[in-house]
A and B are shown apart, each in its own frame.
Chain A
Amino acid sequence: MNSMTRKYLSEGVLLLVGLSIGILTFCWFRVWIVGELDTAQFRQIIDLLPKNWRQFATVDFDWLVSYLGRTSLTLDEPMLITLVCAWGLVRSSDVVSGELGRGTMEMLAAQPISRRRIYLHHAILTTICLTAMVALAWFGMSMGIWTTSVEETTYPELRIPIFDYRIPLTFLAPQVNTIAMSSQVSPIAFLPGVANLFCVAFCFAGFAALCSAMDRYRWRTIGIVAAFFFGNAGLKILGMGSEKLSWVENCTLFGLYHPASAIERAQSQPGSWYWIFEYNNSMEIQGLGGLPHCLILLAIGISLYWIGLIIFEKRDLPAPM
C-alpha cells in the first residue's frame, strides 16, 4: 500500500467503519421488519391508504405488496441514501479545501507528486469505498433475506382436475405457513437498484469534490454540499407531492434515482434494465430505462470530478490562515 493510499484510508477509516456498520445493520433490520409483517396484512394496510398517497410511490402499489417490492423500498429509504451519500459528501469535500483549511496541503503539495495524482488518488479511493458501502447495503439486504422467515397465510384449495384450476376456499380456516424469505426474493433482483444507489452517491461525491477544489474552507464546502443534498431531496419530495410541480423532480439528481422502479422493471421485463427507454404493456415509452439513469448520473459525476480536477490544477494554493 503506498503512502497516499495509507494516508487517505487512515483519515477516513472511522467514518468508513461507522457508516458501514450503520448501512449493514439498517439494511438487515429493514428486511427483517418486512418479514415481520404478513403480506396479507400489509395489503390490508395498503388498501386503507388514501388514493392520493399513491403518488408518493415510484412503483405500482400492487407490486409493493410483494416481498420483493417491500424489501426493494429499502433502497428508497432516506436513511440509507443519506448514509451512503454521506461518505462521498464528507470525504470528497476534504480533498482540497480540507487540506487547505487544516494547513496540511503545504507539506503534501511540496512533494514531487502532481496535483492530478493527489486529486485522482483521493477520488478513486473514495469511489472504491463507496462501491464497498453500496455492496454492503446489498449484502445487508441479502443477509436479511437469508436469515428471515416469513409467515404466509393461505387457504385450503379446491383443485379441479383436467383444467388444473385451483379455487381458494376462503370460508375455511386459513393456514399459516412459515417459509424462508429467500424462497420469495432473490438478492440478485436488487442489483439494478443497488447500481442506481451507487451512481447517485457517486454524483454527489463528484459535486463535493468540485466544491472542495474551488474552496479553501472545509466548513463552507460541507455547508454547500449538505445544502445541495438536502435541497435535492426536498425538491424531489415537492415534485412527488404536487402534480403541478412534478417537473421539479426532474431538475434534481434524485430525479434519476428510482431504485424500486428499476427493480420492478427488471423483474417484470427481464433484460429491460439495459433498454434506453422504459415501455408500458402497450409498448409505449414511459421514460428512460434503468441503465440510462445510471449512465447519466455517472456522466454527471465524472464531469463534476473532471471540472474539479481542472480547477485544482490551475488554482493558487493559499497559505494557511
Chain B
Amino acid sequence: MKNPIVVTEQLTKSFGNFTALRQCSLSVYEGEVFGLLGPNGAGKSTLLRLILGFLNPTSGSSRVNGFCSQNNRVDAHSQISYLPGDARLYRLVKAKQLLTMFCGFRPDASFEKAKRICERLELNLNTWVGLMSTGMRQKLSLAICLCNEAPLIILDEPTANLDPTVRGQVLQMVREIRQQGRTVIFSSHVLSEIEETCDRVAILRKGELVYLDSISKLNQHHRILANLVGELPELPEHLKSVVTIKKEGDKIQLETPSDLGGVLKWLADAPFSDVMIQPVGLRSVYDKYHHPETIVSQTEADPR
C-alpha cells in the first residue's frame, strides 16, 4: 500500500447553521489520480479549500504529506500546486510576466517548463492577461499550476472553458503526472473525464462523502434490467449480500458489485424477459446518490 499524501479526519465545516462539509474522512494515496464528484454545493470546493488551509475547519483535521493544513500552511502548500475552479489572474500584465511572477514564488517551479506547457496548449505568452478569453486564461492558469514539481496537484474543474482538443491535452497531462509518480486530486462535473483519468473516485452529496471506491472496482459493477413476467423468486442465500433488487411495477433492476457468475445462474431460471446486462459506470453510481428516482426509468431511454 502506498503512503497517503492527503489525510482528512472527520473534517467538518459549518457556516453559521449551514454545514458545507460533514465529518469527511478520506485518504488520497501517492501516485494516484483521485476524482472528486458532486453537484454544485456538494462540498467539493469546501473540501479542497480545507485541504489547502484556506478555511479553518469547524472540527476535524487535514494533513498534506504529514503537514497540518491549518497550522503548517506554508509547508503544506510547498507540497501542493492548486488550480482554482474559477482561476482569476492579474489582468494588467502580459502572460509571460505573470508566469515569471508565479515561478518566482516557488523554488521548484520552472519558467521553461511553463513555456513548454503554454506551447503545448497553443497559448501566446505575449498577450495581455486582461485581453485573454476565459479559455486562454484557463490555459495560463494550468501552465502556472503544472510548471512545478509539487507532489500533489489539485485541479478544480481544470477542463472548464476549454475546447475538446485542449481538454484532451489536459487529460493527457494528468496521466503524465501520474506516470511521474505524483498525485492528482481532480474535481470535475464531467463524469467521463473522471472515468478516463482517475484511479479512485469520491462522491459528495450535501456535504457528505457518500461514495468512495476505485474505478477498476466500479468497472466490475453490473446492472441487470429486465421485465418481470411472473412471481419474483427468492434470492439464494449466497447472493443476498451482493445483489440489490429494485422493483417498480413489472420492471426490475438488480445490481451486483462482484462477479456475475452466480447471478447469471439464478437469472437463467427466473421469470424475466428483455434482460439487459450493463456495466454500471460512474453515471449510474452518481445518479444513485444524486438522482435516485431516475435509476429505473432511465433504462427505457438507455439506447444500450
Contacts and interface: CB of A to CB of B under 8 A. Distances in A.
A319 B141 contact: no
Interface string B91-104: 01100010011111
Given A106-B84, A111-B77, A316-B55, A6 B101 contact: yes
Given A10-B92, A316-B56, A111 B106 contact: yes
Interface string A109-141: 111111100000000000000000000000000
Nearest to B90: A104
B105 A114 contact: no
Interface of A: 2-4, 6-7, 10-11, 102-104, 106-107, 109-115, 314, 316-317, 319-320
Given A104-B90, A107-B141, A316 B104 contact: no
A104 B88 contact: yes
A319 B86 contact: yes
Given A3-B102, A109-B54, A10 B93 contact: yes
Interface of B: 45, 49, 52, 54-56, 73-75, 77-78, 80-82, 84-90, 92-93, 97, 100-106, 141, 144
Nearest to B105: A111
A3 B77 contact: no
Given A3-B100, A3-B105, A110-B80, A317 B74 contact: no
Contacts of A314: 56
Nearest to B141: A107
B82 A115 contact: no
Contacts of A106: 54, 82, 84, 86-88
Contacts of A316: 54-56
A318 B45 CA distance: 10
Nearest to A14: B92
Contacts of A3: 100-105
Contacts of A7: 90, 101
Contacts of B93: 10
B69 to A, nearest CB: 12
Contacts of A115: 73
Nearest to B73: A114
A164 to B, nearest CB: 68
B101 to A, nearest CB: 5
A2 B100 CA distance: 10
Nearest to A115: B73
A6 B97 CA distance: 10
B155 to A, nearest CB: 12
Nearest to A7: B101
A112 B77 contact: yes
A103 B86 contact: yes
Contact of A320 (B55, B88, B90): B88
A317 B101 contact: no
A6 B94 CA distance: 13
A319 B49 CA distance: 9
Given A102-B88, A107-B84, A112 B105 contact: yes
The 5 closest A-B CB pairs, nearest first, are A3-B104, A103-B88, A110-B82, A112-B78, A111-B105
A241 to B, nearest CB: 44
A321 to B, nearest CB: 9
